[in-house]
Amino acid sequence: MKFFLTFILIVLCFPTAAQVDNNEVDIELYTFGAGENYWEAFGHTALRVKINDIDYLYGFGYFDFNDEDFFLKFARGKMQYFLGIEETSLEIDTYINQGRAVWSQKLNLS
């Protein structure tokens, strides 16, 4: 629930979002397949928000490898995760270049 509220807050902060017709806003759910590294073992999901020339993926579950006691926190399930915002085309290319599956589903929201 916190992720959803954070996502809505971020989308509403874009000044252009309030000035466009709903027909010009595309929301898609992206699912990325599992990777080879242990932190990629379960794949990843993100929401794509495209408004005219604005095209970003919003994904929760990013973390900092430089976090103090990273491996201990990871093993205990006590990680501090945060929202990551990436340019859609660059992020998708990264997953494809890693040989990971990429699925998308357009959400029909009014």
Report, as an integer, the average pLDDT of 17-44: 78
Two structure tokens written together for 18: 């309030």
Q: Above 70 in pLDDT, residue 22? A: no
Task: Read off the pLDDT of residues 43-71 as tens digits, 9 standing for 90 and up.
Answer: 889 999 999 889 999 988 777 878 888 88
pLDDT of residue 42: 78
What does the domain layout of the chain look like in residue ranges? 28-107
Q: For residue 79, give the nearest of 88, 71, 89, 91 by alpha carbon.
A: 71
3-state secondary structure of 23: helix
Q: List the helix and strand counts (H, then E) for the chain.
A: 3, 5
pLDDT tens per residue across span 80-91: 888 889 999 999
pLDDT in tens, 1-17: 555 555 555 555 555 44
